[in-house]
Structure 1
């Protein structure tokens, strides 16, 4: 489905398309949707550089940042304005991932307009600056680097620390909106053919990643709840630290008093609670980063699965031909996705376990501060008190201690609930199952080549 608005050609959510290239960006394979939107034939595209559809309004810096990511072995996601052979423009959200000897690029219609709109404004500013820079006599390479620096600064101002963090935020949202529109691996009647078997495998992998996406949604809810709890953590830490400071200021004059022993216990627990609180925020940030990585990697696998399924269905429908190489590249991308996704899932699980242990320790320490602290106050009130430092107003110290004791740490109730929730959230990925499914794809491709 496509239609034209002004000089722009727009297309439907289900119109996914892809290309594979060699390491220098020379096109090896396209699908029918790519050919249709670009208004080039497959014969014209294969063997041509991918910039055959490059639009002059696209900043060179965007492509420079994309190649920087790819050369580091990481996938890149970029909104791209292309120009078709008939002169019409079309926007895509492009995801480019390394293959063994080249790259796979899957493109979808931009759906996240809350992000897409400001990116277009960034591009306009950067491209205008690039044109001025080029007019000063700088080379194309210099213009690309200049534009990359400007676009990086634009991304920083939008709270992205570079193109990869941008990709981690953009791809999951674009994919979620795509799925929300009902774009799934197509269903076809089962027939005895290798391509039908491949389509069934893609449907199965899609179901596998459905469960992972659901689990990641639960993780995100947990992180959001912990983030809300952390907004008041400074007050908790200040109170715990102040309790430790107060018990260090006065003691009982009675040599048989339990005050010194209780003071040591309270100081130890309050110090431990403050230490955990200080680490807690960095652990939470680390978990957020790790879950973002898992969401990105699982979204990448889901996108490649979707593309492979749509292509396989098109082959079965007689709309695509010469499919062995294309399916092989898409299957290879799934294994590449898996290689990154498995350790990311394990790292997220390990970090969540550590955060759970920290939460339980924090709840325990804060709960166990109040009772001995109250005993310390009562003993001093009954036995009298003496200052451990000159100039201490003992009455003021005891009054503040009583107020702190009365207030306590009510935040522990919420934290205990969150700790229980953390124990119930599990990220599971059946690596062996997915590998077996991809092996089935390769077996089907071998049958097609016989």
Structure 2
């Protein structure tokens, strides 16, 4: 039942429902409603005869950007689960917000929805208001979806999927707190892991930019060398060796951190998938228990729905564990690649030191010394970033182990 605070909000046009309540609906591939639960029917305000056989857009509210649905249907069409904050409209014209977890199933789609309450929810409403304004100015759904992906990227997430996986973790944690029950250990571990991965991706992006900036320094060394020594002299040789070594390291970095479908992308994607599937499994389990006690509804066979939900819950647990095992494998490769770059940096340091020695031998106090000073600063920055990445990688590895142990215990 709704609390007094929730009932009070109904006067502002919001339909009240409790944090303990979950919405359930199932549709065919075209989005036509085939089944739903009593929460969906009651809050939407429609009779069963009006809901069953109607398109799910019956409850769509214009304050939910079209770009959100573009992302949702794109993911579902590829066979992937997806989540979204959605503002719906009841038959009375009132509205209600949900965080929707949607999954593709044989013969259509299934959605379980909960009441959002995390701090992120407030941010999302502001984001939607801004996007709606852009859409009203003519932004099409595909461009709106790209705009949302840009928002996720600005918030530090490598993909919108990762952003929504994080959102689901936040909403489940907030819901546990609202219902005064212990936080789920696996959700906490996966959320922390997701955050560490996104920070790793950001740090690697900074590292790549540092290396790209480094590429101009050997050219400066050669220019200085041309004024100080004959062609092919020691400074020229040092600058050429430095250029070759730094380019090799930069190429290696781009291969596992910079390119699309890079190692860091793969780890992040698999962890986000595991987090999302774990969240799906949790709400599906609650939904199954709720349906077991559901009152008869015309046109709905609750045993069919319960069997379907049980199967999906098992699938989510299996697929989530498999995603985490793949993430563990990619993470191990990523750690090895990071360690390899760190070893190569030692070689680059040696070349830099040779440059400093040669600078002292030639008693240079001008351009070459300034160039070597630049190298010193870049190397200190790069070493710091590599140490941060290795620390985050270690944290991710420990979190993965904790998740697998918690998953096995559960």
Pairwise same-fold verdict (TM > 0.5): yes
Distance of 2:74 and 2:210 partners within structure 1: 43
Quick check: 1:91 aligned with 2:67?
no
Match of 1:152 among 114, 137, 145: 145
Q: Where does 1:11-50 land on structure 2 (aligned, <5 Å)?
A: 11-42=17-48, 45-50=51-56
Match of residue 334 from structure 1: 313
Match of residue 409 from structure 1: 379
Quick check: 1:104 aligned with 2:104?
no
Q: Which runs of 5+ in 1 are unaligned?
A: 131-145, 188-202, 386-393, 438-450
Residues 354 and 216 of structure 1: CA distance in aligned 2, closer, same or farther (over 3 Å): farther
Match of residue 218 from structure 1: 193
Match of residue 53 from structure 1: 59
The range that moved more, 147-156 or 33-42, is 147-156
Q: Once superposed, what is the RMSD of the aligned Cα atoms?
A: 4.7
Distance of 2:365 and 2:66 partners within structure 1: 70
Question: Residues 259 and 376 of structure 1 are in contact (CA less than 8 Å); yes or no, is this contact kept in structure 2?
Answer: yes
- The one-character-per-residue Cα deviations of 1:70-99 (angstroms, maximum 9, x if unpaired) are 333333444444333444332333232110
Question: Residues 314 and 320 of structure 1 are in contact (CA less than 8 Å); yes or no, is this contact kept in structure 2?
Answer: no
Residues 88 and 211 of structure 1: CA distance in aligned 2, closer, same or farther (over 3 Å): closer
Match of residue 190 from structure 1: none
Match of 1:115 among 120, 124, 135: 124
Question: Residues 22 and 113 of structure 2 are in contact (CA less than 8 Å); yes or no, is this contact kept in structure 1?
Answer: yes
Match of 1:180 among 153, 174, 182: 174
Structure (1 or 2) with the larger CA radius of gyration: 1
Distance of 1:61 and 1:381 partners within structure 2: 61
Match of residue 308 from structure 1: 284
Question: Residues 203 and 389 of structure 2 are in contact (CA less than 8 Å); yes or no, is this contact kept in structure 1?
Answer: no
Distance of 1:184 and 1:83 partners within structure 2: 24
Quick check: 1:357 aligned with 2:351?
no
Distance of 1:403 and 1:57 partners within structure 2: 55
Distance of 2:159 and 2:193 partners within structure 1: 21
Quick check: 1:8 aligned with 2:14?
yes
Residues 85 and 291 of structure 1: CA distance in aligned 2, closer, same or farther (over 3 Å): same
Deviation at 1:115, TM superposition (A): 0.8
Question: Residues 83 and 168 of structure 2 are in contact (CA less than 8 Å); yes or no, is this contact kept in structure 1?
Answer: no
Match of 2:269 among 275, 293, 298: 293
Deviation at 1:339, TM superposition (A): 6.9
Question: Residues 23 and 40 of structure 2 are in contact (CA less than 8 Å); yes or no, is this contact kept in structure 1?
Answer: yes
Residues 13 and 235 of structure 1: CA distance in aligned 2, closer, same or farther (over 3 Å): same
Deviation at 1:415, TM superposition (A): 1.9
Helix, strand or coil: the match of 2:79? Answer: coil
Deviation at 1:301, TM superposition (A): 2.2
Deviation at 1:267, TM superposition (A): 5.4
Residues 365 and 247 of structure 1: CA distance in aligned 2, closer, same or farther (over 3 Å): farther
Q: How many pairs align? A: 386
Question: Residues 185 and 309 of structure 1 are in contact (CA less than 8 Å); yes or no, is this contact kept in structure 2?
Answer: no
Distance of 1:34 and 1:348 partners within structure 2: 36
Question: Residues 221 and 236 of structure 2 are in contact (CA less than 8 Å); yes or no, is this contact kept in structure 1?
Answer: no
- The one-character-per-residue Cα deviations of 1:81-139 (angstroms, maximum 9, x if unpaired) are 4333444332333232110112101112243120123314534664x569xxxxxxxxx
Distance of 2:388 and 2:142 partners within structure 1: 45
Match of residue 370 from structure 1: 349
Quick check: 1:422 aligned with 2:393?
yes
Question: Residues 80 and 103 of structure 2 are in contact (CA less than 8 Å); yes or no, is this contact kept in structure 1?
Answer: yes
Distance of 2:214 and 2:59 partners within structure 1: 62
Compute the TM-score of the two structures, normalised by the length of structure 2: 0.71
Question: Residues 294 and 302 of structure 2 are in contact (CA less than 8 Å); yes or no, is this contact kept in structure 1?
Answer: no
- The one-character-per-residue Cα deviations of 1:171-197 (angstroms, maximum 9, x if unpaired) are 53144133223169999xxxxxxxxxx
